[in-house]
Structures are given as C-alpha cells and as structure tokens.
Structure 1
Amino acid sequence: MRATQWMGKNHIEVNEVPDPQILNDRDAIVKISSTAICGSDLHLYDGFIPTMRKGDIVGHEFMGEVVELGKGVGNLKVGDRVVVPFPISCGNCVACQKGLFSVCENSNPNARIAEKVMGHAPCGIFGYSHMMGGYPGGQAEYARVPFADVGPLKVDDDLTDEQVLFLTDVFPTGYMGADNCDISPGDVVAVWGAGAVGQFAVASAKMLGAERVIAIDRFDYRLDKAKEAGATDVLDYEDVDVLDALQELTAGRGPDAAIDCVGMEAHHPSTAINAYDRAKQATMLETERPHALREAILAVKNGGTVSIVGVYGGLMDKFPIGSLMNRSLTVRTGQAHVQRYLKPLYERIRNGDIDPSFVVSHTLPLEQAPQAYRMFRDKEDSSNKVVLKP
C-alpha cells in the first residue's frame, strides 16, 4: 500500500509499504477513505517530538471502511463505515472505565519510554512516535486498528466524510477544551489559537452557553473562520496587546475561562521573548514555546479556569506559577478522551447543530502529502485544514 512516512525533520515522503495485518483478535483493518493533517502533526514534521524513526507512518485523523476483523470484534462487520479515534484505548482498565481514554493503561507497549519523560505513560496514539506506542498511522491506504471493539464509531452513509472525519480528533479536542471550562450562561471565554481545534473550541463554547467567545490569532483567514464558528470578538495579537485588550473587553475582570489551543510551537510578536524561547528550544534547554499558555494564565479572571488542549511535549521555562497559585486558578488539561465524546458529538452533527466540514480548506490526493505538509506549516493559500484522499 501507499503511506505517508516521516523521513526526518521537515521531510515527508509517500512510499510503498507492507499492508497491515491482523495481529490480535480485537484488531480491525480499515481501508481509508479520508485522512487529515493535524496541527500536532507539524510538531513531528518540525522535529520537536522525540522517538520518531525514519520510515514511521504518520497520521492520526482517519476514517474508512472495515475490510477485515479479528474474531474478538463483535460490534462491527466488514463493510461498515467508521471514524477512528486517535487515542488507542482498551476500554477495560481503570482509566478507560472512568472515561479517561487518552490515559489508557494497556494500549502503550512503550510505556517505559514515556515514563522517563512524563512520570507515567499516556495511551498509545496512531502515528505519533514510539514514545506513544510506535503504531503506524492513518495517512495511508489502510490501517490496523487495535481494540476495534472500543474505538471506531459506525457512521451513516448520508453524511459526507468531511462532516464526520473530524470526530477522530479536532472536534472532540476543541469540545473538551470548552467542556473543561464548566461554562455557565453569560460566561466570557477566550480561545488562544484559531486553527481547526480553536475553531471547534469556539463553536463548542457557544454551544455550551458562553455569551462571548474571544478568538486570538494573527492570521486573518483563521480569525474569519473563528467568527464563522461563533466568535463574538477576535484579536490579532500582532496588532494589540492581548492582556490589555482582554481587560478592556471584560471591564477589567478578565475572561471567566481561557482555552489554550496552541501548544508547543507558539509564536509571540515580541522579538526578545520569542528569540529567548526559540534559542532554548533549539538547544533542548526547553522543549516548548509557551507564550500562549503564559498569556492565558495571566489573562483569566481570579478563580477562573485555564483549559489546555494544545499539545505540549516536555518542559517549559518562565511558567507563571505565582499567578496560577495566588489567584486560585483551576487548570484542566489532557489529550482528548475522544471515545467519551464520539456519540454525543455525532448526534450534534446528525441534529444539524454543527457541520464540521466548515474547517476544510484543501482536499488533495495522498500522493501530495509532502506538498500539503509544507503548505500547512507555512500557512500558504489560507490552508486551514487539509484532507488527504488515498
């Protein structure tokens, strides 16, 4: 089959690789109809996620048709059309039983690697380094799906791929970012990062009852998408001081909640602080550029909530712990527990509450993955969300 392979920093190729095989009774093989490039895939592309190996198949947002099943999978049948959550979760461990699917205790065969960095290991993730299990990803013609009796959700044929594909990651991730905030009617929520996850966080905050949602970014086309998703206000952080602007918009109180949808490669208009973090990151004295998170913590009201769904990988410098502790802030975070949200969000789509396809900017053949990665990273041609078709 053809698959997208990580060949080194800023180097993606589409090559012929062996077809996946059933290895466990709970496996399925899915013939992929659509797959997408996620913002967190750029952390792999830019070389910031450790334990990648040359030739690894990438991609964790994919869907398609079940073509083969292990004998232990009783909830699916060959021919079913499914979306596949990016966290690989057993469904049986203590974490999964509590709905904490992204910290499944049984799906990461390389837990010892992750434990060295994080203390404890999260779940396995498709196409996202050997620290996260070393599983081949879904930017390919076929994928092996472990624990297929727990993860994949069967979807109806009358919905397009683009309407349901983002249930695999970015829609539940944005929704969880908003859900973490315990939004009450009248709340003001600020969202850092207006990429696809941020756009879904905006839409989700509005669905959950926020009165105002403020989106923060520097690209006009992304801020326009945020407004389409329901943002009542947008801030270009290259034009305004974000902290001052948020104070003015909230009569000096600060937003009730802040959602960080940016993660480890944040940009900052200040040359000095941006250069500081980039230099420390380049020399591996720091693994993150935490401008957005610092700002979110300083901006939110006393007693407010900071929700972090942007991806971080290790250690950051100049973390404002004094503000966090002294102002009684609550921090809630995590990779999305996608399986928890799949069915409720699928019903939102079926009921017409949201059409997730609004985020798609480009649809390209799988063979153009190398060009698509470059375009997406460099924000060329207003690339908001790229869907690849095998």
Structure 2
Amino acid sequence: MKALAWHGKSDIRCESVPDPVLEDSRDAIIKVTSCAICGSDLHIFDGMIPSMQHGDIVGHETMGEVVEVGRDCKTLKPGDRVVVPFSIACGECFFCQRGFYSGCERSNRNREQAVKMWGNSPAGLHGYSHMLGGYAGGQAEYLRVPYADVGPIKVPSNLTDDQALFLSDIFPTGYMAAEFCNIQPGDTIAIWGCGPVGQMAIRSAFLLGAERVIAIDTVPERLALARAGGALTLDFLEEDIYDRIMELTHGRGADACIDAVGTEADSASSFYARIDRLKVATFMGTDRPHVLRQAIHCCRNFGTVSVVGVYGGFLDKIPMGSAINRGLTFHMAQTPVQRYMPRLLERIEKGEFDPSFVITHKGRLEDGPDFYKTFRDKKDGCIKVVLNP
C-alpha cells in the first residue's frame, strides 16, 4: 500500500509499504477514505518529537471502511464506516473505566520510554513516535486499529467524510479546551492560536455559552476565519496582547485563557520567544512556552488556563508566582477522544456544528509531502489539509 513515512526533519515521503495485518483478536483493519494533517504532525515534521524512526508511518486523524476484524472485536463488522480516535485505549483499565482514555495503562507498548521522560505513561497513539507505542499512523491506504472494539465510532450514511473526520482529534480537542474553561454567562475567553484546534475552540466556546471570544494569531487567513466564527481578533505582531486584553476587560483579564499553540510558538512574537527558540536550537531547552506565559499573565484572578497545545518536555521560566498568588486553575490533557465522540457526533447530526468549515486544501496521499510544507509554512491560505487515499 501507499503511505506517508517519516525519514528525518522536513522529510516526509509517499512510498510503498507492507499492508497491515491483524495482530490481535481485538484488532480491525480500516480502508482509509479520508485522513488529515494535524498541527501536531508538524512537530514530527520539524524534528521536535523524540524516538521517531526512519520509515515510520505518520498521521492520527483517520476514517474509513472496516475491511477485516479480529474474532473478539464484536462491535464492528466489514463494511462499517468509522472514525478512528487518535489515542489507543483498552477500555478496561483504571483510567479507561473512568473515561480517561488517553491515560490508558495498557496501550503504550513502549511505556518504559515514556516513564523515563514523564514519570508515567499516557496511552499509545497512532503515528506518533516509539515513545508512545510506535504504532503505524493513518496517512495511508490502510490502518490497523488495536482495541477496535473500544475506539472507532460508526458514522451514519447521511454525513460526509468531511463532516465526520475531525471527530478523530481536532473537534474533541477544541471542544475540550472550551469545556475546561467552565464557561459562565457573560464570560470572555481568550484563545491563543487560530489554527484548526483554535478554530474549533472558538466555536465551541460560543456553543458552551461564552459572551465574547478573543482570538490571537498573526496569519491573515486564520484571523479572518476566526472573525467569521464570531471572535474579536488580535494580531500579536501588531499590538501588545497583554495591554489589549486588559483594555478589553477593564483591567481584570480574561475569565479563561486557552493555549491552542503549544511548543512551537512564533519566535517573532517577542524577545523572550526568540530566546526560547535559541534555547531549543542549542539544546538548552525542550519547548518554547511563550504562549503559556502570556496566557497566565492575561488570565483574571481565579480564572482558568486551559492547555491543549502540545508540549513535550520541560518548560522554562513559567510564572508560577503569578498563577499561585492569583489563584489560577490549570486544566490540560491529551484529549480522551472516545469520551467526546458520541456527544459531538450527535451535535453534527443535529446540524449544531459542522467541522468541515476548517478545510482549505484537499489532495491525494502523493500530494502529502508538499502539503506538509505548505501547512508548516502557512502558505496559500492553508489552514487544514485533508487527503483522500
């Protein structure tokens, strides 16, 4: 089959690889009909993610048709059309039983690597490094899905792939980011990053009752799409974000702040952001947390900082004094997608939310390597890429 494979920094190739096969009685094989390039895939593309190996198949936003199931996978049958969550969960362990699927204790088959880095291990992920299981990803013609009786959700025939695909990651992630904010009537929510997850968070915040959303970015197309979703937008290269948020909130700060950027904050945004980039380049740091610092400072006393942007290691100069003395609450996670998929699918079916608004580019797997560059470099108005194998 054809698949997109990693061969080093800025080197994604479309190549022929062996077809996946059933490895466990709870597995399923999916014929991929749609997959997407995620912002966190760009961390792999930029060489930010450790324990990648040459030839690793990437991608974790996938849907398609079931073509084969193991004998113990009783919930699916060949012909079912499904969306596959990006995290892999057994459904039986301590965390899965409590709905924290992205903390599954069983699915990371290389959990010892993660324990050395983080003190404990989260769930295994599709297409995302050997530290998180080394599972093949879904930017391919076929995908093996472990624990397929727990993860994939069936998609009704009246919904298109474009409407359903983002249940795999970015719609639940953006929705969770807003849900973490415990939004009350009259609240102002500030969101850093108007990429795909930020766009979902903007609309989810309004869906959950926010009165005002302030969206922060510098890419014109992203800011325009944020305004189309009802947000007031700020360009961080044109104005001081802290000063403007304080002005807009009469000196109080936003009721909640969402970091939808993570480790690769734009180094042009401030002197400290440039220092972060220098530290990463010289191996003096692992992440660039400029956005998180700013979100903390811009949040009102006893407000919430919601973090869904990806960080991988140790963050430098985080203003914990500000957070502690002003009573901030931090809420963060890799999204337990399985927990959110049913209710968000229902919202899509009812016409309350159509995630396809974020798609700007479509192509084949063969176009994937070029689209990685286009997405990373924010060229041609690219906000979200969908590939149809």
Q: One fold, TM greater than 0.5?
A: yes
Q: Which residue of 1 aligns with 2:116?
A: 116
Offset at 1:230?
A: 2.9
- How many pairs are equivalent? 389
Q: Which residue of 1 aligns with 2:181?
A: 181
Task: Note the alpha carbon deviations across 1:210-251, whole angstroms, 9 max, x for none.
Answer: 0001100001110111122232x1100111100000001111
Q: Which residue of 1 aligns with 2:264?
A: 265
Q: Which residue of 2 aligns with 1:357?
A: 356
Q: Which secondary structure does the structure 1 equivalent of 2:198 belong to?
A: helix
Letter of the 2:106 partner, please give it: N
Q: Which residue of 2 aligns with 1:240?
A: 239
- RMSD over aligned CA atoms reads 0.8
Contact persistence 1:26–1:71 (CA under 8 A):
yes
Q: Which residue of 1 aligns with 2:253?
A: 254
Q: Which residue of 2 aligns with 1:75?
A: 75
Q: Which secondary structure does the structure 1 equivalent of 2:130 belong to?
A: coil
Q: Which residue of 1 aligns with 2:101?
A: 101
**Correspondences of 1:144-293 after superposition (within 5 Å):** 144-231=144-231, 233-270=232-269, 272-293=271-292
In structure 1, C-alpha distance between the alignment counterparts of 2:158 and 2:315, rounded to whole Å: 46
Unpaired runs of at least 5, structure 1: none
In structure 2, C-alpha distance between the alignment counterparts of 1:243 and 1:85, rounded to whole Å: 36
With over 3 angstroms needed to count, the CA separation of the structure-2 counterparts of 1:270 and 1:260, relative to structure 1, is closer
Q: Which secondary structure does the structure 2 equivalent of 1:14 belong to?
A: strand
Contact persistence 2:267–2:274 (CA under 8 A):
no
Offset at 1:373?
A: 0.3
Q: Which residue of 1 aligns with 2:344?
A: 345
In structure 2, C-alpha distance between the alignment counterparts of 1:126 and 1:229, rounded to whole Å: 30
Letter of the 2:241 partner, please give it: V
Q: Which residue of 1 aligns with 2:334?
A: 335
Offset at 1:314?
A: 0.4
In structure 2, C-alpha distance between the alignment counterparts of 1:387 and 1:14, rounded to whole Å: 15
Offset at 1:270?
A: 4.7
Unpaired runs of at least 5, structure 2: none
Offset at 1:276?
A: 1.1
In structure 1, C-alpha distance between the alignment counterparts of 2:277 and 2:57, rounded to whole Å: 28
In structure 2, C-alpha distance between the alignment counterparts of 1:320 and 1:388, rounded to whole Å: 41
Offset at 1:271?
A: 5.3
Contact persistence 1:200–1:229 (CA under 8 A):
no
Letter of the 1:18 partner, please give it: P
Task: Note the alpha carbon deviations across 1:305-363, whole angstroms, 9 max, x for none.
Answer: 00000000001111111111111100000111100000000000001111110000000
Task: Note the alpha carbon deviations across 1:258-296, whole angstroms, 9 max, x for none.
Answer: 000000000143553233111110122211111111000
1:127 aligns with 2:130: no
In structure 2, C-alpha distance between the alignment counterparts of 1:325 and 1:111, rounded to whole Å: 32
Sequence identity percentage: 57
Offset at 1:200?
A: 0.3
In structure 2, C-alpha distance between the alignment counterparts of 1:229 and 1:29, rounded to whole Å: 37
With over 3 angstroms needed to count, the CA separation of the structure-2 counterparts of 1:142 and 1:307, relative to structure 1, is same
Q: Which residue of 2 aligns with 1:314?
A: 313
Task: Note the alpha carbon deviations across 1:82-131, whole angstroms, 9 max, x for none.
Answer: 00000100111111111111111010010000111100011000000000
Contact persistence 1:95–1:103 (CA under 8 A):
yes
Letter of the 1:193 partner, please give it: G
In structure 1, C-alpha distance between the alignment counterparts of 2:201 and 2:104, rounded to whole Å: 24
Contact persistence 2:14–2:369 (CA under 8 A):
yes
Letter of the 1:265 partner, please give it: E
Large movers: runs of 4+ above 3 Å: 268-271
In structure 1, C-alpha distance between the alignment counterparts of 2:357 and 2:258, rounded to whole Å: 21
Contact persistence 1:65–1:81 (CA under 8 A):
yes
Q: Which residue of 2 aligns with 1:23?
A: 23
TM-score w.r.t. length of structure 1: 0.99
With over 3 angstroms needed to count, the CA separation of the structure-2 counterparts of 1:284 and 1:203, relative to structure 1, is same
In structure 2, C-alpha distance between the alignment counterparts of 1:30 and 1:108, rounded to whole Å: 20
Letter of the 2:298 partner, please give it: A
Contact persistence 2:236–2:269 (CA under 8 A):
no
Contact persistence 1:28–1:69 (CA under 8 A):
yes
Contact persistence 1:30–1:66 (CA under 8 A):
yes
In structure 1, C-alpha distance between the alignment counterparts of 2:191 and 2:93, rounded to whole Å: 33
In structure 2, C-alpha distance between the alignment counterparts of 1:372 and 1:205, rounded to whole Å: 29
In structure 1, C-alpha distance between the alignment counterparts of 2:225 and 2:27, rounded to whole Å: 38
In structure 2, C-alpha distance between the alignment counterparts of 1:270 and 1:130, rounded to whole Å: 33
Letter of the 2:323 partner, please give it: L
In structure 2, C-alpha distance between the alignment counterparts of 1:10 and 1:111, rounded to whole Å: 27
Contact persistence 1:237–1:269 (CA under 8 A):
no
Q: Which secondary structure does the structure 2 equivalent of 1:301 belong to?
A: strand
Contact persistence 2:90–2:104 (CA under 8 A):
yes
Q: Which secondary structure does the structure 1 equivalent of 2:201 belong to?
A: helix
Letter of the 1:319 partner, please give it: I
